[in-house]
Structure 1
């Protein structure tokens, strides 16, 4: 039992749970500027825009206590049928 706990601790110590921060791209609400929101802190703000080569980008921001927007989710997908 003790060996299992040591093994589990070794495996978990090798995990990296921090991902690099998402970078705004042209079309993002915070690209090249600081955006402020009138919504209360913790509110999720969604943004969708058409990016390079016809790809649709979906983003989610969370309003911070100072009113700025923090990019928390970003996904790009084709904006046209792929069949």
Structure 2
């Protein structure tokens, strides 16, 4: 029950924040890092990592015309790998 409450709270917090998603500490573009991709512009790049409180963070990037990655979406979910 406690985990469900935290998940709902995180979802509502994410919905309340308007604008573009902000990179987290393990994101590919965190801290202003510039990541150039060898893929063609418009290619979708997915990235996952273990975030705060044991939740899995799912990120989607799109390769821009100049080759840099742009964070377009970010969501969290439970991590079932450790059970």
Normalised to the residue count of structure 2, the TM-score between the two structures is 0.71
2:36 aligned partner: 36
3-state SS in 1 of match to 2:30:
coil
Structure 1 runs of 4+ aligned residues shifted over 6 Å read: none
Please, what is the CA RMSD of the aligned residues? 1.4
What 5-or-longer segments of structure 1 have no aligned partner? Answer: 1-18
Distance 2:38 2:78 in 1: 32
TM, length-normalised to structure 1: 0.71
Count of aligned pairs between the two proteins: 63
SS in 1 for 2:27: coil
Bigger Rg, structure 1 or 2: 1
Matched, 1:61 2:61: yes
User: 5+ residue gaps in structure 2?
Assistant: 1-17
Which structure: greater helix fraction? 2
The alpha carbon displacement at 1:80 in A equals 3.5
